[in-house]
Structure formats: structure tokens, C-alpha cells
Structure 1
Amino acid sequence: MSGHVAAIYRHPVKGFTPEGLERVELRAGENFPNDRLYAVENGPSGYDPAAPAWVTKMKFTVLAAIPAIAAIRTRLHDATGVLSAEAPGRPAFAGRLDDAAEAQAFADWLTATLPTDDLRGPLRVMPSRGAFRFMDHPLGHVSILNLASVRDLSAKMGVELDPLRFRANLYVEGWEPWVENAWEGKDMMVGWARAKVYKPIVRCAATEVDPTSAVRDHEVVRALHDHYGQMLCGIYVHVTASGAVGLGDAVTAPE
């Protein structure tokens, strides 16, 4: 079964704005490029930048815990390394998160922007190191969402769900709904790269937040369980052979 890439997104700061791309180079054994490079610690998390290791996302500023994050618009500018951020009623921020003083300025800006009740302690920008990235799952290298599955869920719920709720890297058209849930361990082509399906993605409360309004408006996790008897939507894959992926490229599913 062959589909095609309808959208490509990265999330340079965990929990914050998805950034659309036209093309990306996937590398064997690596995470999606420039995805989840930084996370903002919400009170002490136990994460040590000198010895980076996976920490549950709930230790950071993420949509599952703080819906208001969706109202903030961030963008990492590749040419300069500057992160820009805007929020309603607030002055804009711009700074490099790889500079300690400017990273702290971003944390201070967020502290003044986010609801006080959602903050568990001092906010601190945490950098990834080496191959480590702040993924929801320690082995969730690249995430793929089947848009037909989202439409089927939307129909069951009687609402139109924005696929960006699911914060995937690659969004695919042309597959039958939910076929991806049976592909664990199987090989596939993703553009010009080869990949192996690691596992389906178990969804959390982040999907319940509208990415435009920043309102927790639909119980997506409950709907998945009620209509399908599981809480899966999307798949993680591991890249086994490097290659480029662009908009419109084929994504060939396992037979």
C-alpha cells in the first residue's frame, strides 16, 4: 500500500509550535532532524545535560499539562540560530537557546507568559546533547501519522480534529484507516529512506488541546478507547538507510 507525504513538521522546542518543512534528510539510526532539540524544565526534572537520558515529558512544559502553550508561536531560524516567540498581549522574544543568558531570558519570558498555577517551580531551558533528543518515547525516533485514521476518528467523534494535535513528523495520505497499527517490526520506504516500524504511538492528553485556540476541548484519548478499544494513533519508525523525504514523496507501506 503506497501513500504520499502530505506534510512534514519538526518541533525544535518540546511542546511548542510545529514548524512546517518541504524536505528533510533522514539519517540511519538517528532521530528526526532538529526535532525536540530543547525542552523547558517545569521545576526540577532530574535531567542532567552532562549525561542526557530520557525523562518523562510531564517534567517539562508540554501541552498535556499546560494547554496555554498552544497560544505561543515559536520559530527556530536556521540561518541565525535564533528562536523567536510571540504570545497574545506579550512583547515578543528573540534569542539563541544555546547561549546561557538568552536561554534564561526565554525561561523568564515563559514564566511571565504562562499561567502561574501551571508552574511547579523555576523554568529552565534544557539542551539536548549528542544524539539525544527530548522524545515522548526514548526510542520514538521518527513519528508518522495516517491522516485517514484521523479523519475516521473525527467522524466517530462528530468533530473535525486538526491533525497537528498529534504532533507528528510526517503526515501521510493514501493509506486505509488504522492499517498502520498492524505494522510493528515491518520494513517500509519513506521517501528515499528505508525504515522499520518500531511501534504504534500511545496517545496522551496533549491531543485534547486545540493547537489554534489553546483550549482543551475534546477527549481524544477517551474517544480512541471508546471507539476502537485502544489509545493508539500513529507509528514510530527507525530509519535503517538514509535518504531524503519531501512533500509528495511516496511512503510505501508493508505488504
Structure 2
Amino acid sequence: MLRLSALYRYPLKSGKAEPLQHIGLDKLGLAGDRRWMLVDEASGRFLTQRAVAKMSQLSALWNSAGGLSLSAPGHTPLEIALPGRDAELRGVTIWRDTLRVPDAGDQAAAWVSDFIGKPTRLVHIPLERARYTEAGYGQEGDQVAFADGYPLLLIGQASLDDLSARVGRPMEMLRFRPNLVIEGGDAFAEDGWKRLRIGDVEFRVVKPCSRCILTTIDPRTGERSADREPFVTLEAYRKTENGAMFGQNLVNDGVGRLEVGMPVTILE
């Protein structure tokens, strides 16, 4: 039987993962997932672990007041308020998208600039300013927050086990930054799924996930693997004309609640 074995949220794009036992879903995926992002102050270009590996050590968690709690080794924790309706809007660029979103203010900017080592701003994306997903995949009107392309990423535990066996050592699931982990199926069974249901929520599988050098960053230490694994192995047996694929991007149809242990039904 297939079941949901793990849930992860990433409040800050490219920040540390937040393991969850249960979570609600809104129209942009897991509630609060990748609603915050760091951008270069001068250009507005988004920052991720691809260029700043130590972002894997940056913890950004939603606090009880609805804002963000920032912490990192060697830095004094800071509480950030959720930007209000009168907050300054900052022009930002994420991949091919350009948009204007609320800036979290100068105190937050000073903290993240000190961590990153250059002038940086922290921005937030409210529901009403969400981006649209890539044309040609999914359905018209599908939206996403600051995730690379789609609201949710699913990986089968058996797929990771298969990869680890080929690499020759255990690979951490968080190298691949999934939201949903499914156990009970065969390796890469998710490649053939089109629709599934978890609890009362249905999901569409819209596109395989093309992996990059980010998978070589150890989520525990922020250091890159000297042997470039598991990316080298993925390229050897999972490469397509669009890249080395691992995991499936999803869109949720409707809202609801997920909890670890819930059965997973493949609808198509």
C-alpha cells in the first residue's frame, strides 16, 4: 500500500527544510511553502543554494505572529513581521518571471546581507501576487509562489533507495527538497502517475523534475560533495534531453489537509 511517509515545507526559498506531521494546502501548494525569498539588492535577482551553498544552513520558520523567524550559526536570531499592505514593493526576477512583491524592510535586509556577505533583500509573496506556472504544462490558471516552477514536488522513497544503491552510500532525501515523500511502491513508479489522491485532495502530475548541481550539497553541512554525487550517477542513468530527472512536479486541485501516514491512491 502506498502512503505519505514524509512532509517538508521550505518557508524561505533555498533555506532549511521544515519537517511536518500535518499541514494544510492552499492554491499554491503547502500553506506557507516558499513564500519568502532572498534577492540581490541591486538587480532583484533571486538567490539560491546553487550560487550560495551556505543557504542550506539558513533557518527561516513561520512564527506565531505570521511572520518569519530567522536563525543561522553565528548569527543572532531575528523575528520578521509579515509585510503589511503598505509595505514597499520591490521588483524581483525569478527565472523568466519579473514581478513586484512586498519587501520585508531594512532590519531584515541588514540581517540577510550579513549572512550572505553582500547587499541582499528579503521579500514575501502574498497569494494575490502569485506567479503562473510554465506554459505548456498543467492547466491554464495554475499558480506558484517562489518555488522554481510548480507548487509541489513528490519523490518515491524507493527511488531514493535505488539511487543510493547505485551511488554506493546513503543519499539524504533533503538533497532533492521534496514536499511529499511516498513509500510502498517500486522505484520510479511516480514516473508513470498522472493523478493521485491523498486524503480528500487530488493532485495532477504535470512534469518530471530536472535536477542540477544543488543535489551535491549536503543538507546537514552545506558543503558540496567532492565527487559531485549524486548528480554524476543521476546523469548516468536518468538523463533525458531535458536533463537528469528525479521526482515529479505536482499541482493540487483544491485545498485540504495532509498528514504523514495517509494512504495514497493512484487515480490515473
Structure 2 gap ranges (5+):
88-102, 131-144
Structure-to-structure mapping, 1:134-145, within 5 angstroms: 134-137=146-149, 140-145=150-155
Write the distance in 2 (CA, Å) between the matches of 1:236 and 1:210: 22
1:207 aligns with 2:215: yes
| Equivalent in the alignment of 2:33 | 35
Contact 1:62 1:206 in 2 (8 A): no
| Equivalent in the alignment of 2:110 | 108
| Equivalent in the alignment of 1:51 | none
Aligned-residue offset at 1:19? 1.3
Pairwise CA RMSD: 2.1
Structure 1 gap ranges (5+):
47-58
AA partner of residue 74 (structure 2):
G
Write the distance in 2 (CA, Å) between the matches of 1:197 and 1:106: 36
Greater strand share, structure number: 2
| Equivalent in the alignment of 2:79 | 94
Greater helix share, structure number: 1
Q: 2:120 aligns with which of 108, 123, 146?
A: 123
| Equivalent in the alignment of 1:248 | 261
1:85 aligns with 2:95: no
Write the distance in 2 (CA, Å) between the matches of 1:17 and 1:68: 10
Q: 1:67 aligns with which of 53, 64, 75?
A: 53
| Equivalent in the alignment of 2:138 | none
Alpha carbons of structure 1 residues 242 and 112: separation in structure 2 relative to 1, 3 Å: closer
Write the distance in 1 (CA, Å) between the matches of 2:216 and 2:182: 21
Aligned-residue offset at 1:97? 4.3
Alpha carbons of structure 1 residues 192 and 45: separation in structure 2 relative to 1, 3 Å: farther
- Give the number of aligned pairs: 231
Query: Structure 1 segments of 4 or more deviating over 3 A?
Result: 43-46, 99-103
AA partner of residue 238 (structure 1):
V
Q: Which moved more, 1:194-203 or 1:96-105?
A: 96-105
In structure 1, the residue corresponding to 2:246 is in which secondary structure? strand
Q: Could you list the per-position Cα deviations for residues 80-99 of structure 1 after superposition, in whole angstroms to 9, with x for gaps in the alignment?
A: 12422222222222222426
Q: Which moved more, 1:167-176 or 1:86-95?
A: 86-95
Alpha carbons of structure 1 residues 188 and 109: separation in structure 2 relative to 1, 3 Å: same
Write the distance in 2 (CA, Å) between the matches of 1:67 and 1:84: 20
Using the size of structure 1 for normalisation, the TM-score is 0.82
In structure 2, the residue corresponding to 1:92 is in which secondary structure? strand
Q: Percent identity?
A: 28
Using the size of structure 2 for normalisation, the TM-score is 0.78
Alpha carbons of structure 1 residues 38 and 178: separation in structure 2 relative to 1, 3 Å: same
Higher relative contact order (CA 8 A, sep 6+): 1
